[in-house]
Amino acid sequence: MRRVVVDTNVLISSALSSEGNPTRIMHLVSDRQIQLFYSSEILDEYRRVLAYERLNIKLQTQESIIAAILRLGILIEPIISNLKLPDETDRIFYDTAKASDAILITGNSRHYPSEIFIMTPYDFLLKLEKEEQTSNR
């Protein structure tokens, strides 16, 4: 099973829209077709950003999303790297993905180094589709 770490922007995009690649990814998590990994710092960030008033995400929706992450995800303790990142707040996602041997799915790939395990939602879904086609041959 594919292991993933989902950047906050992907989670929020999914919470705000019932369509699109971020939503498809979160459905794959819900259907247990991919395995979500997170750290306590990532969970704190998810909670904080979901609660932004300007996003207008209902409290019940926020609680449901967090409950699903707790139920479906695997909590790990990342190993903190010393890699230079353009935005230091992204380190928790990078380090959690590295520690869990997971793909980091982000809409802000420019915030991270160019590494094979860092993908946009589109690229991740395309990779899954190609792997599925290959395995069905």
Domain ranges of the chain: 2-135
E strand or H helix at 100: helix 91-100
Give tens-digit pLDDT for 17-41: 999 999 999 999 999 999 999 999 9
Task: Compute the average pLDDT of residues 85-113.
Answer: 92
Q: How far is it, in rounded angstroms, from Cα 68 to Cα 56?
A: 20
Q: How far is it, in rounded angstroms, from Cα 55 to Cα 32?
A: 27
Q: Is the pTM of this model over 0.85?
A: yes
Q: How far is it, in rounded angstroms, from Cα 22 to Cα 8?
A: 10
Give tens-digit pLDDT for 114-126: 889 999 999 999 9
Q: How far is it, in rounded angstroms, from Cα 72 to Cα 48?
A: 20
Q: How far is it, in rounded angstroms, from Cα 102 to Cα 115?
A: 12
CATH fold, domain 2-135, is: Rossmann fold (3.40.50)
- Residues of the chain above pLDDT 90, percent: 80
